[in-house]
């Protein structure tokens, strides 16, 4: 059976999630600000789609995104860094995951 790369522990990660170095992962997301609630919404254009309830003004959506991902991954906010896409829906984040593997929740977008 062919591996989909969408299950934790599989050798292949989904296209939006890449290991940069041990304990550090790059996550590419598509953010939909101003949504009814903050939640994962599958995959869109090769990125994990996340709906964020916060509006896109005054950096509120970015802050809500970081807080949501930190909670989803069981991390402190300082372990989630927005690296690119501060004013775009396409964003790249780094996740410092000391346990090594990303949490299963990040695979739900597959």
Q: What is the pTM of this model?
A: 0.84
pLDDT computed for residue 32 by the predictor = 96
* Residue 61, phi then psi, degrees to nearest 5: -65, -40
pLDDT computed for residue 108 by the predictor = 66
Please tell me the CATH superfamily of domain 17-109, with its number: YggU-like (3.30.1200.10)
pLDDT computed for residue 104 by the predictor = 76
- Residue 33 CB contacts under 8 Å (≥ 6 apart), including other chains: 52, 54, 55, 56, 60, 61, 89
pLDDT computed for residue 98 by the predictor = 79
Q: What is the block-wise mean pLDDT of the chain (110 residues), using blocks of 10 residues? A: 44 81 93 95 94 95 96 92 96 88 69
The residues spanned by each domain of the chain are 17-109
């Amino acid at each position: 059976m062919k591996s989909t790369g969408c299950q934790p522990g599989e050798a292949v990660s989904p296209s939006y999630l890449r290991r940069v170095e041990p304990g550090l992962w790059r996550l590419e997301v598509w953010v939909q600000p101003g949504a009814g609630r903050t939640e994962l919404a599958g995959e869109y254009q090769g990125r994990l789609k996340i709906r964020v309830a916060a509006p896109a003004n005054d950096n509120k959506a970015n802050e809500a995104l970081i807080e949501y991902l930190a909670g989803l991954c069981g991390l402190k906010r300082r372990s989630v860094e927005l690296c690119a896409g501060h004013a775009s829906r396409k964003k790249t984040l780094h996740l410092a995951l000391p346990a090594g593997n990303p949490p299963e929740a990040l695979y739900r977008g597959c």
